Amino acid sequence: MRALVAGAAGFLGSHLSDRLHDDGVEVFGFDNFDSGRHQNIAHLDGDPGFRFFEHDITQPIAAAELGPLDVIFNMACPASPFAVRIFNTYGPRMDPEDGRIVSSFIVQALRGEPITIFGDGSQTRSLCYVDDLVGGLVRMGASEPAFTGPVNLGSPEELTVLDTARIIKEMTGSRSPTVFKDLPQDDPMKRKPDISLAESKLGRRPKGPFTKGAAPTIDYFRGAIGETPTGSGPVFPGR
C-alpha cells in the first residue's frame, strides 16, 4: 500500500505515519509546520519507507511525482472533519502549550505550578490514548469504499476533570496545589462519543484505563518541557 498523510509532523499525523510505516505501508508525509514539528518525525529521516514534503496542502500537489496512492489521511484539516470525528485524544508528542486538559495538567504538575480547574471539576471528559485512535484511523482507511461514515473515534469511558487532575498529581508525585476558577458558560459538562458505529463497522474499541496511557505521556513531557519556556500557558476548559 501507498498512503499520503497530510499533517504528518503533527501530534496525530506523526503517530499515524509511524503505525502505517510499521505495517509496511509506503508513506508520503506532508506538513507546512504551522503546528507540526520536525522532531515528531525526525526518527524517520532517511527511511526509504517514508518520504517527507514540506508543503501547504491548500496549494496544489504535483501528483505525478508521487504516483498512484491507495489512501489519503488528511490530518491537517480543521476540527469536526467529515473523514472521521476525532474526540479527545492524548499521548506523547502533544504540544506542551496547546492548552488541552491532559497536557496542561501534566505540565503544571511537573513544574510544581498550581493545577487549574474550571468549575468544581465534576464535568466529564472521555480521553482516548493516541495508539487506540490511530488504530481506528487505520481501520477506517482499510474499510470498504462504500463505508464513508462519519464515524466517531474516541473513548466512551468518562473521567471527571477533578479525577484527571488527581491521577496526574499522583502519577507525577507532584505537590502542586489545585486551584478552582469560574466555569465558562460554554464549557460542556459532558463529552462522551457514541462509538457504536466504530465497534460494528471497524471492530474498534479503545483498550486500557487512563493510567495506562498517562504513564508514557508523562514520561514524554518530562523531557519535552525542558525545551519549553517557563509558564504552562492558558488552559482551555472544554478541551
Q: 237: pLDDT confidence band, cut at 50, 70 and 90?
A: very low
User: Beta-carbon neighbour count of residue 3 at 10 Å?
Assistant: 21
Residue 102's CB is within 10 A of a number of other CB atoms, namely: 25
CA–CA separation, 12 and 14 (whole Å): 6
Range list of β-strands (E), 55-151: 71-74, 85-86, 89-90, 115-118, 124-126, 128-129
Q: Is 120 exposed, middle or buried (0-12, 13-18, 19+ CB in 10 A)?
A: exposed
pLDDT at 235 > cutoff 50: no
pLDDT of residue 78: 63
What pLDDT, on the 0 to 100 scale, is given for residue 238?
Answer: 47
Parallel, antiparallel or unpaired: strands 71-74 and 2-6: parallel
In the prediction, which pLDDT does 80 show?
Answer: 57
Secondary structure of residue 53 in the 3-state scheme: strand
Q: Name the residue type at position 60.
A: P
Q: What mean pLDDT is reported for the chain? A: 89
pLDDT at 152 over 70: yes
| Grid cell of 91 as nine digits | 499521548
Whether pLDDT at 210 is above 50: yes
Q: Which residue has the higher pLDDT, 183 or 226?
A: 183
pLDDT of residue 188: 82
Grid coordinates representing 167?
491521577
Is residue 53 over pLDDT 50?
yes
Band of pLDDT at residue 29, cut at 50, 70 and 90: very high
**pLDDT score at 162:** 96
Per the CB < 8 A criterion, the answer to whether 85 and 150 are in contact is yes
Per-residue pLDDT, averaged over 141-162, amounts to 92
Strand pairing class (124-126; 158-160)? antiparallel
Q: In the predicted model, is pLDDT for residue 231 greater than 50?
A: no
pLDDT digits (tens, 9 = 90+) for 67-102: 999 999 999 976 555 678 899 999 999 988 888 899
Residue 192 has pLDDT above 60, yes or no: yes
How far from each other are the two terminal CA atoms of the chain, in whole angstroms? 35
pLDDT over 80 at 227, yes or no: no
With cut-offs at 50, 70 and 90, classify the pLDDT of residue 103. Answer: very high
Tally of helices (H runs) and strands (E runs) in the chain: 7, 12
Domains along the chain? 2-74 (3.40.50.720), 85-227 (3.40.50.720)
Cell of 147: 463505508
Q: What is the mean pLDDT of residues 20-48?
A: 95
How does residue 207 score in pLDDT terms, banded at 50, 70 and 90?
Answer: confident
Measure Cα distances from 160 to 48, 51, 58, 124, 238 in Å.
44, 41, 38, 4, 12
- pLDDT surpassing 70 at residue 109: yes
